Structure formats: C-alpha cells, structure tokens
Amino acid sequence: MSKSTPPEPPSAPGDLLIEIDPSLIEEALAAVERRAPSIPAEARIAPEPADGVLGDGVEAEIDLALEPTPAPERADDERRRLQFRLREQQETIRRLERELGRAVESRDAFDRQAREVRKVHSDLAADFDRFRARARKDLEEAERRGEDRVLRPVVDVFDNVERAWLHAVSDPAQLLGGLQMIVEQFKRLLIRLGFERVEAERGMLFDPTQHEAVLHVLDDDVLPGTIVDEVHAGFRLRGRLFRPSRVTVCAPVAD
C-alpha cells in the first residue's frame, strides 16, 4: 500500500485537521478484531475512504473497541465456579445416597432383630405355659403322694381302733391291749413323719421355750418352778417347735 500524502482538504476557519497514516488505521482495526472477536460482523462499521482525515466510521470502530467487553478470563472463572458448585452438589447427593443406604441397612437389621425378639418372646411364653402346666401337675401329684403317705397309716390305725371296739364288749382285756397297740402305732407314725416328742417329765425344770404352763399348783414332792404333770404332749417337727408341751407347774409356797 502506498504511503503517499493525501491532498489537504479545504478547511474552514477554526477547524483542527489531523493527518493519520492509513496503515495505522488498518493496524488499529486488526487490533480491535483480535481484542473483540465476539463483536458481530454486522455490528462493525467499515472505515470509509478518507483523504488522511479520521472519519466518523473509524471513530465508531475505535469507540466499540474501547467499550468494556466480557473478558474470557471472567467467563472461565464463572464456568469453573459453576463446575465447582456442580461437583459439590453431586458429592452432597452421593453422600446423602450413602447415608440413605446405611439407614436402610440399619432399618432392615432392626426389623430382623425385632422379628427375632418377637420369636424368642413367643417361644419363651410357650415354654412358660408348658412349665406352668407341668409344675401344676407335679404339685398336684406331690400333694396326692403326701396325702397317701400321711393318710394311709391313719387308715391302718382306724382299722385297729375299730377292731378293738368290736371286741370291747366280749373281752375288755383285749380292748386294753388293742388301745396299747394303737398308741404304739401312732408313735411310729409320728416318728415317720418327722415328729419328736418334747420332754416334760415330772420334776423337770419348766422351760418357757418348750413348755406352756396351763396351771400353777402346790406340790410338796417337787421343787417350785418345776413340772408337776403333762396335760398335752408337745412335739418338734424336724428340729422346730411344732407345739409346746402343756404342763402344770409347781407354785412357790407363800410366806
């Protein structure tokens, strides 16, 4: 391109004329295109031929180049920010999915444990019902055996009493022998059942833990505070006092 000097245009008084090399204008347009590639072609104003004077089209083009345009760096920053937020949301979703999976597993484990507990409870209830029925049956059986063990000897004693009664009219002496046999039979029965007779002989010292005084009498043959006579026999059952011996006690002589 020739760099000839254009002819000077006529100027009016007071006008300021600026001479610009056309090659500088072309370089400025190329710089504008490089710096603002996003400006549509139709938005750009082509320079009008000029005789070395800066025309209106060139001024508009330069004004467009000087206007602020969205920088590619800011667009990249925005894109990176959005991608970072997207990754955060995706990570949150994955974390919630993991927590949901663990919650579902915990619920399933709890359901299994609940079913096992209900089964164990049902089995224990059934076992307890069977145990209660068996215990009731065993208790009833033990009571029957205890009754048989106690009452059978009583029935045997009754047989002897009845036999002595039938022979009392014809043979009184036989009645006396029968009664003695009945007494011995009762003694053996009490021993079998675990009874032991409380000693309450005449002249023994009165023991309030074993004896019960029903009467105080004067008796010169025994000392005061000793047993005079036994009214009812006392018994201990397997070591414990079952019934105290009821006795009369010699009273001290009044002064």
What pLDDT sits at residue 247?
A: 94
Question: Which residues does 11 contact at the CB level (< 8 Å), separation at least 6?
Answer: 17
Residue 214, domain CATH? 2.30.22.10
Number of CB atoms found within 10 A of residue 215's CB: 12
pLDDT in tens, 68-90: 555 667 888 888 888 888 888 98
Do the domain assignments include residue 172? no
- Whether residue 234 is contained in a domain is answered as yes
Contact residues for 255 (Cβ-Cβ < 8 A; gap 6+): none
The edge-to-edge listing of strands for the beta sheet with 235-237 is 195-197, 235-237, 240-243
Establish if 63 belongs to a structural domain.
no
Q: Provide the sign of the torsion angle of the four alpha carbons 125, 130, 133, 138, taken in this order.
A: negative
Long-range contacts of 173-178 (CB under 8 A, 24+ apart): none
State the pairing for strand pair 235-237/245-250: unpaired
Q: What is the pLDDT of residues 97-127, one digit of tens each?
A: 999 999 999 999 999 999 999 999 999 999 9
Residue span of the structural domain in which 240 resides:
196-255
CA dihedral over 204, 209, 211, 217, signed as positive or negative: positive
239 in a domain, yes or no? yes
- pLDDT at position 206 is 93
Please count the other Cβ atoms lying within 10 Å of the Cβ belonging to residue 47. 19
Whether 254 is in a domain gets the answer: yes
User: Among 146, 154, 138, which Cα is nearest to 190's?
Assistant: 154
pLDDT score at 234? 92
Predicted confidence (pLDDT) per residue in 150-168, tens digit: 777 778 777 877 777 777 6
- Could you tell me if residue 128 is inside a domain? no
Kindly report the length of the chain: 255
pLDDT of residue 63: 54
Q: Into how many domains does the chain fold? A: 1
Could you say which residues of the chain have pLDDT below 50?
Answer: 1-5, 10-18, 38-46, 49-50, 52-54, 58, 64-66
DSSP string across 10-66 = P--TT-------HHHHHHHHHHHHHH-TTS-GGGS-PPPP-SSS--HHHHHHHHHHH
> Taking the CA of residue 112 as centre, how many other CA atoms within 13 Å lie in the half-sphere pointing to its CB?
5
Structural domain contains residue 2: no
Quote the pLDDT of residue 30: 65
- 253, part of any domain: yes
pTM of the model: 0.43
